[in-house]
Structure 1
Amino acid sequence: MKGGSVMLPLASQSEPIMASARKQVAQRQQLAQVAARLMAEQGIRDFRVAKQKAAHQMGIDVRQSILPKNSEIEAALAEHQRLFSAEDQPAELADMRQAALSAMRLLADFKPRLVGDVLSGLANAHSDIQLHVFAEQSESFDLFLEGRGIPFEIVERRYRFPTGYRFYPAFRFVAGEHRFEATLFSDTEIREAPRSLVDGAPMERANLNRVVELIEQAEFEDRLASL
């Protein structure tokens, strides 16, 4: 002791910092779980919206909190489905993939690619079947749907690329019991996938043959499980 001051052990000085860090980690995990539940139960597609709603439910100021990454919410969503939707979700997913396959065959001239939750396996009854389609002339897709008597509405979607954001028309329509959203890109953009909202990597796209493989793989696994 010198000059009346007391030197605290280093361990004592670091304990409040470690406790605060543990609290932040726990809060972040809980936020991810609540956001995942909201996405599963309310059909929220936007990670940012899910985070804000989760923070509001928990009474957390988003401006002063470390929010979970989108990849953490996706992992929590997969766990939520495993725990609470194990009986229904696989059948719902299989049905949606079959519907996607039928639509992709119909839209074969537009080189369709399956994207989103139906591809990743996280889709549920709230999910849209999301496709990317490609055409040299954007009007050709409108005319195709109109020619087959398929009512649709057009909304604008924003995608991120290494060079910045681009905006595209997305055609929303219903076929059978399923909602579809087909975003229209130019022919040349089939070789340049936008960035994923989950991890920032190029978005995964599946062509028709890949969707067939996914369906057959799931059917094979179901047969094995029933033995």
Structure 2
Amino acid sequence: MKHQDMRRRIAHAAARMLAEDGSLDYGSAKRKAARQLGAPDSNNLPDNLQIEEALRSYQALYQADETRAQLALLRQVAIEYMEQLAAFDPHLTGPVLNGTAGRYADINLQLFTDDQKDVEFLLMRQASPYQAGEQRTPDAAGRAYPRFIIDDPRAPVDVVVYPAAELRNMKRLQADGSPRRLRLPQVRGLI
């Protein structure tokens, strides 16, 4: 019981950091919260689902109006980019999808195409500047995928491009049964 209470306290402290600061990811926030609460050992760290639940609670209590408005804006921006990138089977993922996006959230898009270079050619023709890089994923040992961070003034748009066949191999649902990603028609239904 003592461990469960500490996990809950760490989850809520991490959620507060994520909501107020925005510069941390879930892993960094929970490690920092654990240090602040005097529980640096990994036995007490909550999982990401517990952090997400605590973040939802925090936002509902302290940032309800701001979160609702920000989420609506970010979802609208996501739809705009998904429409522009429609030829590459765009999927929305991350906090804009799951509803925990706050003032510091990025829009996370995954594209699935065998024409990966065409994505960058399209981005070159767009008005917003972007940075190109690569994304390494822990579940695909040693594989790197093209990544573009579009500098939109409303919110950064983080785009990772996967081969079309990768979609079949990716998990479809989160641990809580919610979808990991949605296509454009389903995202429109969220507005």
TM, length-normalised to structure 1 = 0.76
Q: Secondary structure at the match of 1:153?
A: strand
Which residue in the other structure is 2:180 paired with?
A: 204
Q: Secondary structure at the match of 1:182?
A: strand
Residues 184 and 194 (structure 1), Cα distance of their counterparts in 2 relative to 1, 3 Å cut: farther
Which residue in the other structure is 1:218 paired with?
A: none
1:190 counterpart letter in structure 2: L
Q: Shift of the alpha carbon at 1:158? A: 3.1
Alignment pair present for 1:58 and 2:34 = no
Q: Shift of the alpha carbon at 1:44? A: 4.2
Retained in 2: the 8 A contact 1:135–1:184? Answer: yes
Residues 155 and 194 (structure 1), Cα distance of their counterparts in 2 relative to 1, 3 Å cut: farther
TM, length-normalised to structure 2 = 0.89
2:166 counterpart letter in structure 1: E
Which residue in the other structure is 1:136 paired with?
A: 114
Retained in 2: the 8 A contact 1:155–1:171? Answer: yes
2:184 counterpart letter in structure 1: L
Residues 165 and 206 (structure 1), Cα distance of their counterparts in 2 relative to 1, 3 Å cut: farther
1:41 counterpart letter in structure 2: E
Residues 203 and 158 (structure 1), Cα distance of their counterparts in 2 relative to 1, 3 Å cut: farther
2:163 counterpart letter in structure 1: S
Which residue in the other structure is 1:118 paired with?
A: 96
Retained in 1: the 8 A contact 2:149–2:156? Answer: yes
Q: Shift of the alpha carbon at 1:187? A: 1.6
Q: 1:72 aligns with which of 40, 50, 58?
A: 50
Separation (CA, whole Å) in 2 of partners of 1:202 and 1:89: 20
Which residue in the other structure is 1:40 paired with?
A: 19
Q: Shift of the alpha carbon at 1:176? A: 4.0
What residue ranges of structure 2 are gaps of 5+ in the alignment? none
**Aligned ranges 1:164-183 → 2 under 5 Å:** 166-183=143-160
Larger radius of gyration, structure 1 or 2? 1
Q: Looking at both structures, which has the greater relative contact order when contacts are Cα pairs under 8 Å and sequence separation is at least 6?
A: 2
Retained in 2: the 8 A contact 1:160–1:195? Answer: no
Retained in 1: the 8 A contact 2:133–2:146? Answer: yes
- Residue range with higher mean Cα deviation, 38-47 or 107-116: 38-47
Q: Shift of the alpha carbon at 1:149? A: 4.2
Which residue in the other structure is 2:61 paired with?
A: 83
Residues 165 and 54 (structure 1), Cα distance of their counterparts in 2 relative to 1, 3 Å cut: farther
1:141 counterpart letter in structure 2: V
Same amino acid, percent of matched pairs: 34
Q: 2:168 aligns with which of 191, 214, 218?
A: 191
1:106 counterpart letter in structure 2: Q
Separation (CA, whole Å) in 1 of partners of 2:69 and 2:176: 29
Q: Shift of the alpha carbon at 1:87? A: 1.7
Separation (CA, whole Å) in 2 of partners of 1:74 and 1:165: 28
Residues 56 and 73 (structure 1), Cα distance of their counterparts in 2 relative to 1, 3 Å cut: same
Which residue in the other structure is 1:127 paired with?
A: 105
Separation (CA, whole Å) in 1 of partners of 2:188 and 2:38: 45
